[in-house]
């Protein structure tokens, strides 16, 4: 079976740093994606990790530990526009990019 856990909601202050955790148990694994989704819109790609370690991309970084079934998304210098849902999505296929999404974490950034 597939199980993906993320916190339901988080709040943070503009300019701060926030870490969104994701743990997963899947029948197959070929990397993990993070997506951002604003209310009423389609998700947009943020990052992809296939090897253990940290991938940095501007204000956003993503970490993966395959042995622990754990990933996190780190957002620095938070801006109001970062208020959105963040979706953790392991690729559970052998390269077919069969993404299974968690329920997502709703982040609210306050002034």
Partner 1 sequence: SQTIHQWPATLVQPVGSPLSLECTVEGTSNPNLYWYRQAAGRGLQLLFYSVGIGQISSEVPQNLSASRPQDRQFILSSKKLLLSDSGFYLCAWSVHGGAGVFGTFGSGTRLTVV
If phi > 0 it is left, if psi is from -120 to 50 it is alpha, else beta; for residue 59 that is alpha
Q: Which of 45, 54, 68, 79 binds partner 1 (CB under 8 A)?
A: 45
**What sections of 2-104 are H helices per DSSP?**
none
Burial 56-88 (b: 16+ CB within 10 A, else e): eeeebbbbbeeeebebbbebeebeeebbbbbbb
Q: How far is the CB of 31 from partner 1 (least distance, A)?
A: 5
Q: Which stretch binds partner 1 (CB under 8 A): 10-18, 20-28, 36-44, 58-66?
A: 36-44
DSSP label at residue 6: -
Q: For partner 1, which stretch binds (CB under 8 A), given 18-26, 60-68, 75-83, 86-94?
A: 86-94
Instruction: Using DSSP bridges, classify how beta strands 70-75 and 18-25 pair: parallel, antiparallel or unpaired.
Output: antiparallel
d(CA 94, CA 79): 37
Q: Which stretch binds partner 1 (CB under 8 A): 13-21, 60-68, 72-80, 93-101?
A: 93-101
Among 29, 48, 60, 70, binds partner 1 (CB under 8 A): 48
- 1 vs 111, beta carbon nearer partner 1: 1
**What does the binding site for partner 1 look like in residue numbers (CB under 8 A)?**
30-31, 33, 41-45, 48, 50, 87, 89, 91, 95-104
């Amino acid at each position: 079976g597939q199980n993906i856990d993320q916190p339901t909601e988080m709040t943070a202050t503009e300019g701060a740093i926030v870490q969104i955790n994701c743990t997963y148990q899947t029948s197959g694994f070929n990397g993990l994606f993070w997506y951002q989704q604003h209310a009423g819109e389609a998700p947009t790609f943020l990052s992809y990790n296939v090897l253990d370690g940290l991938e940095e991309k501007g204000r956003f970084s993503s970490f993966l530990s395959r042995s622990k079934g754990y990933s996190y998304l780190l957002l620095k210098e938070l801006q109001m526009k970062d208020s959105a849902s963040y979706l953790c999505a392991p690729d559970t296929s052998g390269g077919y990019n069969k993404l299974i999404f968690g329920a997502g974490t709703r982040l609210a950034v306050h002034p």
